[in-house]
Structure formats: C-alpha cells, structure tokens
Amino acid sequence: MRKIWNIIIVLMLMVSIAPLAFADEAEDPTSEVEIDDETQKQVEIMNDSVGSEIRLLQLEKSIAKNIIKGEEVVSILKGLEYNTTYLEAILAEFEFLKEEVIDVDPNSTDAVQIFVDLKHDAVNLTKDFRDALKELLDDDTIEQLRERTREMICEEAQNLSSKIQNKIKQYNRNQLHKLYQIMGENGTSFLNKYQNGTLTMEQVKQQIGKMVNQMTKEKRYGIFSQLKQNKIQKKIQAEICVQNATDGFQTRKESRLINRLQKSENMPDDPINEEMQERIRNRLKGNDNSGTGGSGNNADNGSPGNGNNQQSGGGDN
Amino acid sequence: MKKILLTIISVLIILFSSVLIYHVFSEDSIEINRGVEKEDSTDDVMNEIDESILDENDEVKIGEMV
C-alpha cells in the first residue's frame, strides 16, 4: 500500500515538473535588469555607427518631446495654482538625461550599454512624472491635459526628426549597397536617387524585386542565405551587447545618479534643485530595481510625496 | 481501494505520456515546417530585405508624460 502511494507521489511530481522541463527559456536569476524585446531589437542596428547614431538621436528626440510636454503641463498647472516643484524636479533631471544622451559617442564600444541605461532612465522619469500627475489630479483633468499635449509641436523634436530621417536614409542606403554587392549588381544610381529623395524606398524595392525575380533559383537562394546569415550575426551581436548591458547595471545606475546629484549640487540653490537632489538621494538609498523598457512596469523609488506636490488649495479641478 | 489507486496511477501515466508525446510531436512539426520553408522565393528574399532596412518614421518610445 505504501509503495503504491509512493509511486503516485513520484508520478504527480513528474507531471508537475514536465512543463518546467520543457519551458523554452529559463529566466536568469542573476540578471540585474530585464531588457525588453523592443530594446533588444533596437540595439540590433547599433553595431553600425550610423545605426548607433540613429538610436541615440531617436532617444534624444523622445526625451525632448517629453520635456516640452512636461513643461506645458507644468505651466498649465501653475496657472491653476498647483505646487509643481516635484514635477519640475523630474523635468530638471530629464534635462540632465538629455545632455547625457547628447554626450554619448555613437562610435564608442559601450554605446549599446549606455543607450540601454539611458533609455531605462527616460522610461522611469516619464513614469514618475505620470504617477506624480495621477496623485495630483483627477482622471478628467488628466484627460484634458492629455488632449492639450497630444498634438504639441516641438521645434527641437522636428529638427531632430529631419536629422533622424537623413540618418535612416543613409543607413538604408548602406544596407542596400551591401545587398547590391551580394547580388553582384551596381545600384549606385538608384541608391543616390533614394538618398536625395528622387526615389522612394518602395520604388527602390520594386527595382530590386524585378532583379531578384529574373535570377536563377540558385542565385536567389544564395542571396537569401547571405541575408539570413547577416541577420543572425546581427542578432547574436545584439544579444552579446544586451548581456553586457545587464552586467553591472545597478552599479552604473548608481554612478549616474551620483553624477547628477553632484551636478545639481553645483547649481544655485532653489526649491526645484533641492527637490531633484532629494529624489536622487531617495533612489540612491532605495537601490532602485526597476526593469527597463516598454511600459516602465517598475517605477523608481523616488516617491512623489514629500508634501511638495500636494494641491495648494486652488481647487480648480 | 487498490483498484482506485491503480486507476489513479494509470491516469497519471497516461497524462505524463501525453505531455511527452505532445512535446516531441510539436518539436518535430516545427522542424518539418522549417524544412519545407520556401527559402528561394522572391517574397522571402524581399522579406529579408524589409527586415534589414529601417522605417523612416521609426522611433524609440519612452512612454507618454500624461
């Protein structure tokens, strides 16, 4: 009887362990930060200097846009007599972050690591701002603010957009140039026309499509294999870079925060600056463990409390 | 009582075997699908090209402030 029970227990254990044994990916418990798929995909082009420049410019643009929107929100709330010190402290840190992004050398070997770090900070600061607003305002007021800031035009972001588009054209041109080389064709005239805007990417692709169609099955297969191989190489490279970015993530984060704190301490004293220092100190004490990317599922520890972002009695919402 | 226990054991064995068979089968079908991919069609080449180039409106998203 006892034996039978033992067999049952062993079988039950086997059944319950089976899904774990067949799981596709095991999570690495030693990893300091989880890097989302989107970021992982984004860094794939960063082994190329133009690709690296594109990602950093795109990050700078997103930060610039958020700063402008944040400033608009602050100005509206100031008009309604809210205390906006906490929100302004977040924006002040955002400014530091933007400078850090601008200072990154796209050709440096750790550009991917820095991109991952700074994107993580940008996501968290954005979330902090959103959370602080939620504590300060009701849903209707937030919705109104959302509407007002949705279509805001930011000159700085527009300038960056055109810079990014030019860089993307240059990147695509390089990619297509490699492709023409694989095909053993000369596509310089098409590529020049694409880069100066005479031809669209669709038109260039149509031309390539025609050429591919006329090829022998073997040649097509050769091109396909080469492209696949390049893609896999890029993915592997990105995987290595991302792995490097996860190592020492917390240490780098702390040193970034300390740098910002020192920078802020060298600035003239004012309530916003003091609030920013307080926020940074709180996070240094709290040893932030937030994950990166996407929806910013974990906020930094700097709480929007501290009595600074309480409604100042205007009662306008 | 013994009958019940034997039934339970049989059910568990069947369950475990099913999980095992399902896993092996699904792995096989993935392999088979990989094998029959038409790697030489123009569309596949064009898809690879699409993946190697960037959309001009591509951006790095960090979330909305409001």
B47: contact with A, CB 8 A cutoff: no
> What is the pLDDT, as a whole number, of residue B27?
66
CB contact under 8 A, B63 and A175: no
Question: Would you place residue B31 in the very low, low, confident or very high pLDDT band (cuts 50, 70, 90)?
Answer: low
Residue A20 within any structural domain of the chain: no
Dihedral of alpha carbons A282, A288, A294, A295, sign: negative
Provide, rounded to the nearest whole percent, the portion of chain A with pLDDT above 90.
67
Task: Of A21-25, A139-143, A242-246, B13-17, give the lowest mean pLDDT range.
Answer: A21-25
Query: Rg (Cα) of chain B, in Å, rounded?
Result: 25
How far is it, in rounded angstroms, from Cα A132 to Cα A84?
A: 10
Q: Is the pLDDT of residue B35 over 80?
A: no
Q: Are A11 and B9 in contact (CB under 8 A)?
A: yes
Q: Find the domain containing A108 and state its range.
A: 2-10+33-284
How far is it, in rounded angstroms, from Cα A149 to Cα A218?
A: 54
Q: Closest approach of chain A CAs to the CA of B32, in angstroms?
A: 18
> What is the pLDDT, as a whole number, of residue A1?
65
Mean pLDDT across the stretch A9-18? Answer: 64
Question: Would you place residue A306 in the very low, low, confident or very high pLDDT band (cuts 50, 70, 90)?
Answer: very low
Q: Tally the domains of chain A.
A: 1
Residue A311, classed as helix, strand or coil, is coil
**Mean pLDDT score of chain A, rounded to an integer?**
85
Q: Closest approach of chain A CAs to the CA of B21, in angstroms?
A: 12
> What is the pLDDT, as a whole number, of residue A209?
92
How far is it, in rounded angstroms, from Cα A265 to Cα A242?
A: 33
> What is the pLDDT, as a whole number, of residue A18?
58
> What is the pLDDT, as a whole number, of residue B23?
78
Provide the H-helix boundaries in A80-200: 85-103, 111-136, 139-150, 155-183, 188-195
Mean pLDDT across the stretch B9-34? Answer: 74
**Mean pLDDT score of chain B, rounded to an integer?**
80
Residue A223 within any structural domain of the chain: yes
> What is the pLDDT, as a whole number, of residue A317?
31
Residue A75 within any structural domain of the chain: yes
Task: Of A67-71, A208-212, A218-222, B39-43, give the lowest mean pLDDT range.
Answer: B39-43
* Predicted complex: ipTM over 0.95: no
- Closest B-chain CA to A71: B65
User: B31-57: string of b/e by CB count within 10 Å (b at 16+)?
Assistant: eeeeeeeeebbbebbbebbeebbbeee
- Closest B-chain CA to A23: B23
Residue A62, classed as helix, strand or coil, is helix
Q: Are A296 and A126 in contact (CB under 8 A)?
A: yes
Residue A74, number of CB atoms within 10 A of its CB: 18
> In the numeric block, which tokens belong to residue A214?
């006329």
How far is it, in rounded angstroms, from Cα A89 to Cα A279?
A: 8
> What is the pLDDT, as a whole number, of residue A316?
35
Q: Using alpha carbons only, what angle is made at residue A120 by residues A117 and A122, rounded to the nearest 5 degrees? A: 110
Q: Closest approach of chain B CAs to the CA of A212, in angstroms?
A: 6
Query: Going by C-beta distance under 8 Å and a sequence separation of 6 or more, which residues neighbour residue A202?
Result: none
Mean pLDDT across the stretch A92-102? Answer: 98
pTM above 0.90, yes or no: no
CB contact under 8 A, A15 and B9: no
Query: Rg (Cα) of chain A, in Å, rounded?
Result: 25
Residue A54 within any structural domain of the chain: yes
Residue A266 within any structural domain of the chain: yes
How far is it, in rounded angstroms, from Cα B17 to Cα A40?
A: 37
> What is the pLDDT, as a whole number, of residue A52?
97
Residue A236 within any structural domain of the chain: yes
Query: Going by C-beta distance under 8 Å and a sequence separation of 6 or more, which residues neighbour residue A233?
Result: none
Task: Choose the most confident range, by mean pLDDT, from A14-28, A53-67, A239-253.
Answer: A53-67
Residue A290 within any structural domain of the chain: no
Question: Would you place residue A287 in the very low, low, confident or very high pLDDT band (cuts 50, 70, 90)?
Answer: low
Q: Closest approach of chain A CAs to the CA of B47, in angstroms?
A: 10
How far is it, in rounded angstroms, from Cα A182 to Cα A314?
A: 67
Residue A298 within any structural domain of the chain: no
> What is the pLDDT, as a whole number, of residue A286?
82
Half-sphere CA count of A178, side-chain side, radius 13 A = 13
pLDDT tens digits, one per residue of A228-237: 999 999 999 9
pLDDT tens digits, one per residue of A202-254: 999 999 999 999 999 899 999 999 999 999 999 999 999 999 899 999 999 99
CB contact under 8 A, A220 and B54: no
How far is it, in rounded angstroms, from Cα A298 to Cα A163?
A: 32
For A218, A225, B27, B28, B29, the CA distances from B36, given in Å and listed in that order, are: 16, 15, 15, 12, 11
Residue A84, number of CB atoms within 10 A of its CB: 23
Task: Choose the most confident range, by mean pLDDT, from A16-20, A128-132, A200-204.
Answer: A128-132
- Closest B-chain CA to A208: B46
Q: Which of A8, A11, A118 to mutate to test binding with chain B, by most B CBs within 10 Å of its CB? A: A11
